[in-house]
Amino acid sequence: MNINEMLAKEFGLRQEQIDNTVALIDEDKTIPFIARYRKEVTGSLDDQTLRLIFDRLTYLRNLEKRKQEIINSITEQGKMTDEIMAAIEKATVLVEVEDIYRPFKPKRKTRASVAREKGLEPLAQLIMEQSAGTDPQAEAASFIDEEKGVLSPEEALQGAMDIIAEDVSDNAELRKYLRTLFGQVGRVVSKAADETAETVYENYYDFSEPVSKIAGHRILAIDRGEKEGALKISIEVNEGAGERACISRYSKSTGRCSQLVEEACTDSYKRLIYPSIEREIRNELSEKAQEGAISVFKENLHQLLMQPPVKGMVTLGLDPGYAHGCKLAVVDDTGKVLDTGIVYINTKNQTAEAKRGLIRMIQKNHVDAVSIGNGTASRESEALVAEIVREIPEKVSYIVVSEAGASVYSASKLAAEEFPDYDVSLRSAVSIARRLQDPLAELVKIDPKAIGVGQYQHDMPPKRMDEAISGVVEDCVNSVGVDLNTASHSLLSYIAGINGTVAKNIVSYREENGAFTDRKQLMKVPKLGAKAFEQCAGFLRVRDGNNPLDNTAVHPESYAAAKELLEKCGYKPADIGSLSELNTRADKIGISALAEQLGTGVPTLRDIISELMKPGRDPRDELPAPLMRSGDVMELKDLQEGMELMGTVRNVIDFGAFVDIGVHEDGLVHISQLADRYVKHPLDVVKVGQIVKVRVLSVDLKKKRISLTMKNVKQ
């Protein structure tokens, strides 16, 4: 099959776009590099489309490889025919190819293979002819052979029927039909393993839903319930439907031979086909649900990582706790640790002392914002901070941030390298402060699965999850760009073309030789060659360096074009950053004509103009700032039905969104309550980090559940 032609058709793109994109992928160009610096070649395909093309390309190439392996195997057996070859070439999914190969696939020892070894295949063929005058019992008697272990006509017939059952099971067309039948009319059925047991899966103790309609999050729930031994799952179709489908294909008459064929078909379905297809359907449902969950996780992670940084603020990070106290860390506006401490809030006296200690720390370090982790004792800590901000003359605001993953980071080797002199608990306070200042730079240090967005992410196939996650983080880091002189090796390792080793080498070079003053110095970093430089250079910023272009996303390969552009529009490189009329002057000359004169493409020229006008632009700055608080703290018991509040979306899942409204417990906006219109998926309406207005529908104090709505609420 022509894979490139298939990709062009599937994605609705020009053949040239696909051919060029595949060529770049085969040259080991990274997705961020292709998306940003090869727009003319790909027709300006974005990174998400490029990753989809890459995934599909990988699948089709693996499919082609498997087809060739199967063709070689059948050919070597001397059993290849034009019909089989055509069927293999026509197949578009792996399961179809494997179905075709099933009759020729070397099998482990089976009942049928044992029967064939006993020489019973001719008897099976005779029975399959279903001639009216054939007496199978009499025919079977002639196959008795003590040396081969066939001791009676009954044993011979049983062996023949085992052969027929396996042949029926190996019928690719029959399997395809049954797989379709299961998909159309099958039902996923869940039962309790122990009906008296109290588990979180009680909703699935007597559950049934069509295969064609069951939601992904329910598949993931019952999969987990089965794995934990709480549930028993099956796929069911109308009783007898599968057996009838098999019999109708093989039974030709009403004689004794036909009866044996029908018995063999029934055995084949129950013993071989049904368990196999049930497993395939279960796997297909699980894989689809997993891909859906990974897709939601990717979107949530992208939104979380791209939260706007809170710049220019000295920040106090507060990691709440009871027994071991509340850990404190003050960092300056660059993230450098200025002060640390611990306060206790277990008793009234301790809380009073904690208040005095916090005020001293805030005033001593001129703190502008307090970042509070949302874990144990968060409510009490927030109440204390809210009281302080109301009383002190200094203008200080606070925000409750998700501390998910902070403890994982603080105990990591990376944290130990970064803060060797600090206790594990104080490292988490630093992380909580920094994730307010620059979520992206801090969160890349943590295993994304520990960040706490998405659903069932720990149940996902690790390899597939890691691939998806690394792609999201890579896209986020490269779209923002990083400061070559301040970025951690964790952040640098996600830059296009840079692996973990090279990232550490960059930091080592920086520490030994001082700050980079030019992008070209990267070529002196060990193991960073010309190929890696081409990939990474445009995403690394050198602020206050020798060349003002080094602080832009303009790639060094386009420096000559950028300088000529400035000259043609009446500017000098020193004017970069104050070129408010550059686009007007370029338009006056004519973008197409200018691009031709500069020897570059129109998309690249527009990117150069945008970068020269706003060097070092951070795309996160264009997003709404996080919701900082400075007023009274509410508790769950303070909520009243009908109350309208502002909140921050903390997580989006298939059936709704969880919103932080400042009462420690996040409220759920069910998918049916997200908008006044039909919502296909919550991500169509809300994103992680989005500030929304909600109305309280109900509060369950005992279960600590809050039900919210965004219907008829003016945003």
Give the pLDDT score at 184: 94
Question: Is the full-model pTM beyond 0.85?
Answer: no
Q: What is the DSSP letter of 334?
A: T
**pLDDT value, residue 631:** 62
Length of the chain (residues):
715
340 close to 422: Cβ distance less than 8 angstroms: yes
Tokens for 654? 């298939």
Dihedral pair phi/psi, residue 340, rounded to 5°: -140, 165
Burial tier of 65 (Cβ tally within 10 Å: 0-12, 13-18, 19+): exposed
Task: In whole angstroms, give the CA distance from residue 392 to residue 360.
Answer: 11
Q: What pLDDT, on a 0 to 100 scale, did the predictor assign at position 441?
A: 87
CATH 3.40.50.150 correct for 315-466: no
CA-CA-CA-CA torsion for 296, 496, 41, 302, nearest 10 degrees? 20
Contact indicator for 171, 147 with CB cutoff of 8 Å: no
Where in the sequence of the chain do the CATH 1.10.150.310 domains occur? Answer: 509-622
Structure tokens at 318: 């507060």
Per-residue pLDDT at 665: 83
Q: Where are the alpha helices (DSSP H) in 241-364?
A: 241-250, 256-267, 274-305, 348-364
CA–CA separation, 185 and 649 (whole Å): 38
Burial class (CB in 10 A: 0-12, 13-18, 19+), 71: middle
Report the alpha-carbon distance of residue 499 to residue 490 in Å, rounded.
10
Q: CA nearest 626: which of 333, 303, 302?
A: 303
Euclidean distance between CA atoms 665 and 659, whole angstroms: 9
Give start-end residues of each CATH 2.40.50.140 domain in the chain: 636-709
Domain 509-622 is found in CATH 2.60.40.420: no
Q: Cα 502 to the chain's mean position, in Å?
A: 26
| Residue 190 β-bridge partners | 207, 233
């759920």: which residue's tokens?
A: 668
- Give pLDDT, residue 468: 85
Instruction: With a cut of 70, list the residues of the chain below it in pLDDT.
Output: 1, 452, 630-634
Residues 6+ apart with CB under 8 A from 192: 201, 202, 204, 205, 206, 230, 231, 232
Domain with CATH 3.30.420.140 in the chain: 315-466
- The C-alpha angle 142, 146, 150, rounded to 5 degrees, equals 60
Question: What are the φ/ψ torsions at residue 396 (nearest 5 degrees)?
Answer: -130, 135
458: number of Cβ within 10 Å:
10
Helix (H) or strand (E) holding 667: strand 667-670
Residue 131 burial (CB count, 10 A): 13
Alpha helices (H) along 170-273: 172-185, 216-227, 241-250, 256-267
Q: What is the DSSP annotation of 672-697? A: GGS-SS--S-GGGT--TT-EEEEEEE
Give how far the C-alpha of residue 54 lies from the chain's centroid of Cα atoms, to the nearest Å: 15
Tokens of 173: 């067309």
- The first and second tokens of residue 46, run together, are 């974005």
Predicted local confidence at residue 354, as pLDDT? 93
C-alpha dihedral (579, 583, 586, 592), degrees to nearest 10: 140
Phi, psi of 326 (to 5 degrees): -95, 120
Which two structure tokens, joined as six digits, stand for 34?
């292709």
For residue 367, which amino acid is it? V
Rounded to 10 degrees, the C-alpha dihedral 593/597/599/602 comes to -20
Determine the Cα–Cα distance for residues 686 and 693; give it in Å rounded to an integer.
11
DSSP secondary-structure letter at 270?
A: I
Contacts of 17 (CB under 8 A, 6+ apart): 8, 42, 43, 45
Q: Which residue from 217, 273, 281 is spatially nearest to 245, judged by alpha carbons?
A: 273
The residue with tokens 């203008």 is: 395
Which residue has tokens 């890691």? 466
| Amino acid, res. 298 | K
Cβ burial of 445 (10 Å; 0-12, 13-18, 19+) is buried
Q: How far is residue 671's CA from residue 680's CA, in Å, rounded to a whole number?
A: 8
Q: Which amino acid is at 137?
A: Q
Q: Exposed, middle or buried, 551 (CB in 10 Å: 0-12/13-18/19+)?
A: buried
Amino acid at the residue 29: K
Homologous superfamily of 636-709 in CATH? Nucleic acid-binding proteins (2.40.50.140)
**Rounded-to-integer distance, Cα 269 and Cα 365, Å:** 75
CATH code of the domain made up of 3-76: 1.10.10.650
Helix (H, G, I), strand (E, B) or coil at 668: strand
Positive or negative torsion for Cα 478, 483, 487, 493: positive
As a whole number of angstroms, the distance between CA 600 and CA 563 comes to 13
Measured CA to CA in angstroms, residue 84 lies from 61, 62, 416 at distances of 20, 20, 60
Specify the pairing of strand 369-373 against strand 315-319. Answer: parallel
In this structure, the number of other CB atoms found within 10 A of the CB of residue 697 comes to: 17
Query: Would you state the pLDDT for residue 408?
Result: 82
Q: What is the CA radius of gyration of the chain?
A: 33
CATH 1.10.10.650 spans which residues of the chain?
3-76
Task: Specify whether the CB–CB gap between 444 and 405 falls below 8 A.
Answer: no
CB 372 within 8 A of CB 436: no
